[in-house]
Chain A
Amino acid sequence: MSVLRWIRRNLVVIAGLLTLAYMILPNIVVMVFSFNNPKGRFNYAWQEFSLDAWKDPCGVADLCGSLSLSLQIAAWATAGATVLGTMIAFALVRYRFRARGAINSLIFLPMAMPEVVMAASLLTLFLNMGAELGFWTVLIAHIMFCLSFVVTAVKARVMSMDPRLEEAARDLYAGPVQAFVRVTLPIAAPGIAAGALLAFALSFDDFIITNFNAGSTVTFPMFVWGSAQRGTPVQINVIGTAMFAVAVLMVLGGQLVASRRKKSAQPQ
């Protein structure tokens, strides 16, 4: 009976861990199958252990090219969306102006819109303007849908900032620019970083909007999509696993640094 009682008492934890397993299972499969040596074109059934794909991750035509293109687009989209979004967030929190409601809706709507709708409408715009689909149209689209997420992340941080800190800086002989660089920016930095990270992840992983507006340009998600039709090389599993590992290591490393810094913040 005590087993039953234990289960009842820890029901939430058990359910939570099951969900967690559900969420991680595909990642484990991706990792395991990066060591597969499949028969035929598709890497869906286990055959035998092999390190071939890990030894030659770029061994498939266009794979690494699409990866580097995706990284470039994500970097530029992050930079653009972060700058524009941070400016909007500051204006929204720190100033009064007309048409605030309309501007708030304009920022909320892209997040409340199925991606396919934005993708299709943007394509009609580009077709009507006769724009050439490719790197630039994808970048424009990515900045557009990342913007709202950056605004939301930065706004949350700026709202929790004491406006008196900026007043104190101005009171202590810092001009507007100095006050912003020395006080506002460092304190808002975590929010801006969170927004930028979100923008990078969204842009890097975006498929639907990119698929509509990329023309013949192939980003990494589009390469994966195409390979699902033609045959999945083991190398995409290698890259997926590597990115997962890098992300986990970066987050854990960041936490380690943060806890070290906390400990070392003792009197000099």
Chain B
Amino acid sequence: MSVTDAPPLAPAPAEEPPAPRKASARKRLVPYWLLLPGILWLIVFFALPMVYQASTSVQTGSLEKGFEVTWHFWTYWDALTEYSPQFVRSLLYAGTATLLCLLLGYPLAYMIAFKAGRWRSLVLVLVIAPFFTSFLIRTLAWKTILADGGPVVDVLNTLHVLDITSLLGWTEGDRVLATPMAVVCGLTYNFLPFMILPLYTSLERIDGRLHEAAGDLYATPATTFRKVTFPLSMPGVVSGTLLTFIPASGDYVNAELLGSTDTKMVGSVIQSQFLRVLDYPTAAALSFILMAIVLAMVTVYIRKSGTEDLV
């Protein structure tokens, strides 16, 4: 009980300040070794190609005589003016498809997250499983579904829906195939899973009791959705719309298979310039313009929605 019983507590030894230890160099290098192969792969096969493409876009020449860097920036101007309808179409179709994906996908994602109960995993499987049938085969199936005189077109005709859509320029006469509507329909179909899965992931994290709490605090179901559920699902909405819009804007498969020459998107042009016309500078310039537009839109969108931790 007396004070002197406690073992003496010596202060830090004062003779010489001890030298700080250093973490071994080997240990500090571990992350760099882990990163090296993958990052190198991305630098060589993703970043470097961009540089090559940039250089190609300011070259002039021909396939026979070879191409040379002449800093011919007019290629960009020519490409943009000549193919502006295709650019506008790409962005319009991709934007419409993204919006449709959100409208169609949200109820399904909501249903899986909150209403499916023991059917949840089965429905999820049904959303993911179509992935495993090649998307080209499935896109071709739309040719059958939307065929002239087929049941879908017949029903739409009887309901006079096609009259209205023709007036708007979405369809032509009593055809759906080879019209903008067919292309948007195919785009929507192809990218729906990319919308639904992120939506589902962020909805599933929402505590079901929040709905009860909102109801308890005098919110109607509609208000609960507007003020609680939807804001909390914003990360899913943002990544879903990005995962839909970005690939849709560069897609040419749907336009080629379901559309006509009047529905060509910029992806088709890049593809044919590169693989058929072999006008590499124009193709590279088109590709860069598309990249710039998409990146600019994505950046603004991410900033606006305030979710920067997508990766």
Contact = CB atoms under 8 A, between A and B. Distances in A.
**A and B from one complex:** yes
Interface of A: 12-13, 15-20, 22-27, 29-30, 33, 44-45, 84-85, 87-88, 90-91, 94-97, 103-104, 106-118, 120-125, 127-128, 140-141, 143-144, 147-148, 151-152, 201, 204-205, 207-208, 211-212, 220-221, 224-225, 228, 232, 236-237, 240-241, 243-244, 246-248, 251-252, 255
Interface in B83-127: 104-105, 107-112, 115, 121, 123, 125-127
Nearest first, the 8 A-B pairs at minimum CB distance are A114-B250, A16-B111, A95-B31, A247-B132, A15-B107, A84-B38, A121-B49, A91-B34
Interface residues of B, number: 83
A91 B35 contact: yes
Chain A contact residues: helix, strand, loop or mixed: helix
B31 A20 contact: no
Nearest to A222: B136
Interface stretch (B12-20, B140-148, B161-169, B208-216): B140-148
B138 interface: yes
Given A16-B112, A114-B246, A236 B137 contact: yes
B233 interface: no
A240 B287 contact: no
Contact of B250 (A85, A115, A221): A115
A151 B310 CA distance: 13
Contacts of B10: none
Contacts of B251: 114-116, 208
Contacts, number: 252
B53 A124 contact: yes
Nearest to A95: B31
Contacts of A110: 42, 46
Interface in B47-71: 47-50, 52-53, 56
Nearest to B293: A114
B270 interface: yes
Contacts of A13: 111, 115
Nearest to A232: B140
B298 A112 contact: yes
B75 to A, nearest CB: 14
B283 interface: yes
**Most interface-central of A24, A114, A128, A205 (chain B CB within 10 A):** A114
A246 B132 contact: yes
B311 interface: yes
B2 interface: no
**Most interface-central of A17, A120, A204, A205 (chain B CB within 10 A):** A120
A143 B41 contact: yes
A27 B108 contact: no
